A and B are shown apart, each in its own frame.
Chain A
Amino acid sequence: MADVILSVKNLKKYFEPHQNFAQSLAGGRQKRLIRAVDDISFDIRRGEIFGLIGESGSGKTTTGKLVMKLLEPSSGQMIFDGEDVTHLDKEGTKAYRRKVQMIFQDPYASMNPRFKIRDVLEEPLIIHKVKGSIAERETMIVKALEEVKLTPADEYMGRWPHMLSGGQRQRVATARTLILNPAMLVADEPVSMIDLSTRAEILRMMKDVQQQLGLSYLYITHDLSTARYFTDRIAVMYLGRIVEVGRADDIIDTPLHPYTQALIEAVPEPASGKVEVIKELPIYGEIPSPANIPSGCRFHTRCPYAVEACARDPEPELTLDGMEHYHACLRAYEIQEEKKGGKGAMPAWRVAPAQGRG
């Protein structure tokens, strides 16, 4: 398929747990693999912004690192631009990473504090042995800084990372990825630490760049509210699995999986009348450990709609329900009906005991 730039098939990443000293002395508990990414498949189309959404610990960054080839998959396949890139040698990886660039989650950690901004931006040019005179490099650096609106560029080039605000640091991180003209960007929470106006500006800037250059993005975030503006399609990830995928508007207007519904409920909206209210979230407790994934539907331990059948294997698979809209909930249809028809019928989470809810 010509319009797909990246195709991910049945990708898994399992980590070996590292036991601490006390545990190994005690003879070791049974080792359980950490199933951080547990069989996911998706396609990113050329020129598309594909969002990967989920809570902390759902496996988004691990997926991003697999796509970046910073991690070797445990199994599965990745095809980039028609080429199998699942396993690449050192040279192949380097060439791939020039085409697929990453913007890191934490702009503080991604920059050497002893590099001035000009050096931070020059580093990828050196790593990838980009040819050019000092003046040409200077021009590229200035252009990249201007693309992310750090102007006048020469004023910023001489600064150290600690002399920048969080927002400015993230812009530098973005400039750093753009400088190599990549085909695809993996942006892992690129704006989560940034204030709203700058966030809007950076997302707009990233979208402009994307449209101008026909780039594809894998945009990773826990926040659906920016995803609506920014992405074309969204995959919702829970505990290593994609549980719903579809067009951004459909995911947000008609979420079919209870987990997606919880993510939506949790988003704060700028409206009054909420200060005295304790928000009832349709989800219980915290995300379980990926070393101990629940049976059946892996969400059933936190799902307010779960029934006995949900805990039984096999796990529900993604099924098509609407235009390009897939979900993996056994009860999606019943839940929709319950919401539509049942005025008297309280959703289970409203009558369930408050225990375990934040």
Chain B
Amino acid sequence: MNSLLRIENLQMHYFTSKGAVRAIDGVSFELMPGETIGLVGESGCGKTSLGTSILRMPTPPGRYVSGRILVDDVDVIPLPEKEVRRDIRWRKISMVFQGAMNCLTPVYTIGRQMRETLVEHSDIGKIDATKLMEEYLGYVGLAPEILERYPHELSGGMKQRAVIATALFLKPEIVILDEPTTALDVIVQAQIINLLKKLKARFKLSFIFITHDLALEAEISDRICVMYAGKIVELGANARIYGAKAPAHPYTSRLLAATPRLFGNADQLQFIPGTTPDLISPPEGCRFSPRCDRAFGRCFQEEPPLVEVEPGHMAACWLNGRG
């Protein structure tokens, strides 16, 4: 099967006055049709940066440094903005931005803001927006009256449904969902996850589902892509990552141990000591080595490449031997 999206050795850095923040630093993966890939990792590891990079709108001062983003075998990085707006953004790939539901302006109606999001990011000129918006609100379980309402009149779940409807509006094939349920309570979160699964089946979508919550990824993602400090450290099937066998990267194992379980051993949650590295000057060797309790000599000198450690399962760790 041909991939829908192929990222090849992507680097996207933020060029700040202090130096280049290497937020995306050599990332490669493929998204298959109908697939959900979960991007997971601690705060600051580059999840949002990867999402906005794929959408061809890195936040200033972010710039592409190298690599390709292939959509239908066309690299979108060198495309003129006009073409991206016409063919790619929102039409092929759309995004539910992190915190979007809380960024709705209190003084405008939901309808106006949905329309503005579309106008801002894409070229929708000739479309009868209202009619389509009503149709899509129906798909996410909202009444058309919502368009006339103000954000404070809606619950968090309703606002997030409206934001999701906006992302689907121009019939994209890929939807990047950046922490779409983080600000919601557990019940609404479960309802939204159910909704996303139904929408995915109905519109034959592929998702890139971003969250820091490994428990949530287990609910929705076919493959789990674990990021650390601007790089992918492990990429494997749901059944493998959450299965009986330990993950192939110590970082994934440690993240799992930090994930609360309602019915697990409830003694104490484990956390990963230390903090994520400064991405202006990341550590030598494996970027996780300063925090890794299994690191040995080589880890501090040589950077482990992301290699296939089992069929279909990638990891970047010297403990797996090869490289």
Report how far A200 CA is from B264 CA in the complex, Å: 15
What distance in Å separates the Cβ of B168 from its nearest Cβ neighbour in chain A? Answer: 17
Select B269's contact among A167, A203, A283, beta carbons within 8 Å.
A203
Which residues of chain B come closer than 8 Å to A228, judged between CB atoms?
A: 260, 262, 266
Which residues of chain B come closer than 8 Å to A287, judged between CB atoms?
A: 155
What distance in Å separates the Cβ of B17 from its nearest Cβ neighbour in chain A? Answer: 12
Query: Are A273 and B155 within 8 A (Cβ)?
Result: no
Known A204-B269, A274-B218; judge A266-B187 contact (CB<8 A): yes
What distance in Å separates the Cβ of B18 from its nearest Cβ neighbour in chain A? Answer: 10
Residues of B165-195 whose CB lies within 8 A of A = 182-195
Selected interface stretch from B117-125, B126-134, B237-245: B237-245
Q: Counting CB contacts under 8 A, is A193 at the interface?
A: yes
Which residues of chain A come closer than 8 Å to B36, judged between CB atoms?
A: 275
Query: Are B218 and A268 within 8 A (Cβ)?
Result: yes
Q: Contact string, B13-43, partner A, CB cutoff 8 A, digits 1/0?
A: 0000000000000000000000010000111
Query: Are A56 and B188 within 8 A (Cβ)?
Result: yes
Query: Are A192 and B182 within 8 A (Cβ)?
Result: yes
Query: Are B187 and A268 within 8 A (Cβ)?
Result: no
Query: Are A262 and B187 within 8 A (Cβ)?
Result: yes
Which residues of chain B come closer than 8 Å to A55, judged between CB atoms?
A: 185-188
Q: How many residues of A contact B (CB 8 A)?
A: 50
Report how far A124 CA is from B189 CA in the complex, Å: 35
Q: Counting CB contacts under 8 A, is A225 at the interface?
A: yes
Query: Are B262 and A270 within 8 A (Cβ)?
Result: no
Q: With CB as the reference atom, state the residue of chain B lying closest to A276.
A: B197
Which residues of chain A come closer than 8 Å to B215, judged between CB atoms?
A: 225, 267-270
Report how far A271 CA is from B220 CA in the complex, Å: 11
What distance in Å separates the Cβ of B61 from its nearest Cβ neighbour in chain A? Answer: 14
Which residues of chain B come closer than 8 Å to A264, judged between CB atoms?
A: 262
Q: Contact string, A273-303, partner B, CB cutoff 8 A, digits 1/0?
A: 1110011010100110000000000000000
Task: Give the secondary structure class of A's interface.
Answer: loop
- What is the interface residue range for chain B against chain A? 35 or more
What distance in Å separates the Cβ of A173 from its nearest Cβ neighbour in chain B? Answer: 15
Residues of A3-55 whose CB lies within 8 A of B = 55
Which residues of chain B come closer than 8 Å to A57, judged between CB atoms?
A: 155
Q: Counting CB contacts under 8 A, is A222 at the interface?
A: yes
Query: Are A56 and B155 within 8 A (Cβ)?
Result: yes
Residues of B269-286 whose CB lies within 8 A of A = 269-273, 275
Select A200's contact among B222, B243, B269, beta carbons within 8 Å.
B269
Query: Are B216 and A268 within 8 A (Cβ)?
Result: yes
Which residues of chain A come closer than 8 Å to B259, judged between CB atoms?
A: 196, 270
Which residues of chain B come closer than 8 Å to A149, judged between CB atoms?
A: 275
Q: Counting CB contacts under 8 A, is A201 at the interface?
A: yes
Select B268's contact among A166, A229, A274, A278, beta carbons within 8 Å.
A229
Query: Are A56 and B214 within 8 A (Cβ)?
Result: no
Which residues of chain A come closer than 8 Å to B263, judged between CB atoms?
A: 252-253, 269
Report how far A274 CA is from B190 CA in the complex, Å: 12
What distance in Å separates the Cβ of B229 from its nearest Cβ neighbour in chain A? Answer: 13
Max chain A C-beta neighbours (<10 A), residue from B215, B220, B254, B273:
B215
Query: Are B194 and A269 within 8 A (Cβ)?
Result: no
Report how far A270 CA is from B189 CA in the complex, Å: 15
Q: With CB as the reference atom, state the residue of chain A lying closest to B261.
A: A269
Query: Are B42 and A197 within 8 A (Cβ)?
Result: yes
Q: Counting CB contacts under 8 A, is A119 at the interface?
A: no
What distance in Å separates the Cβ of B319 from its nearest Cβ neighbour in chain A? Answer: 20
Q: With CB as the reference atom, state the residue of chain A lying closest to B184.
A: A56
Select A165's contact among B44, B183, B255, beta carbons within 8 Å.
B44
Select A196's contact among B195, B212, B268, beta carbons within 8 Å.
B212
How many residue pairs bridge A and B at CB < 8 Å?
157
Known A225-B260, A268-B215, A279-B194; judge A286-B157 contact (CB<8 A): yes
Query: Are A252 and B212 within 8 A (Cβ)?
Result: no
Q: Contact string, A199-216, partner B, CB cutoff 8 A, digits 1/0?
A: 111011000000000000
Q: Counting CB contacts under 8 A, is B198 at the interface?
A: yes
Q: With CB as the reference atom, state the residue of chain B lying closest to A270.
A: B215
Max chain A C-beta neighbours (<10 A), residue from B141, B212, B254, B273:
B212
Max chain A C-beta neighbours (<10 A), residue from B222, B255, B260:
B260
Known A229-B268, A275-B238; judge A270-B182 contact (CB<8 A): no
Query: Are B261 and A197 within 8 A (Cβ)?
Result: no
Q: Counting CB contacts under 8 A, is B305 at the interface?
A: no
Report how far A311 CA is from B191 CA in the complex, Å: 25
Q: Counting CB contacts under 8 A, is B156 at the interface?
A: yes
Q: Counting CB contacts under 8 A, is B213 at the interface?
A: yes
Which residues of chain B come closer than 8 Å to A262, judged between CB atoms?
A: 187
Q: Counting CB contacts under 8 A, is B256 at the interface?
A: yes
Which residues of chain B come closer than 8 Å to A358, judged between CB atoms?
A: 141, 188, 190-192, 194-195
Which residues of chain B come closer than 8 Å to A81, judged between CB atoms?
A: none
Which residues of chain A come closer than 8 Å to B141, judged between CB atoms?
A: 358
Q: With CB as the reference atom, state the residue of chain A lying closest to B272.
A: A197
Residues of B192-232 whose CB lies within 8 A of A = 192-195, 197-198, 212-216, 218-222
Select B190's contact among A167, A203, A266, beta carbons within 8 Å.
A266
Q: Counting CB contacts under 8 A, is A194 at the interface?
A: yes
Query: Are B218 and A197 within 8 A (Cβ)?
Result: no
What distance in Å separates the Cβ of B177 from its nearest Cβ neighbour in chain A? Answer: 15
Q: Counting CB contacts under 8 A, is A263 at the interface?
A: yes
Known A57-B155, A197-B272; judge A270-B184 contact (CB<8 A): no
What distance in Å separates the Cβ of B134 from its nearest Cβ neighbour in chain A? Answer: 20
Q: Counting CB contacts under 8 A, is A223 at the interface?
A: yes
Select B238's contact among A166, A269, A272, beta carbons within 8 Å.
A272
Can you report 11 residue pairs joining A to B where beta carbons are below 8 Å apart?
A56-B156, A197-B258, A222-B187, A229-B269, A268-B215, A268-B218, A270-B259, A274-B218, A275-B219, A283-B187, A286-B188
Q: Which 9 A-B pairs have the closest CB atoms?
A: A358-B191, A195-B212, A222-B185, A200-B269, A201-B271, A200-B271, A225-B260, A272-B242, A266-B190
Sample of 10 more A-B contacts, CB < 8 Å, known A204-B269, A267-B186, A268-B213: A55-B185, A56-B157, A167-B44, A193-B182, A197-B255, A200-B271, A270-B218, A270-B261, A281-B187, A358-B194
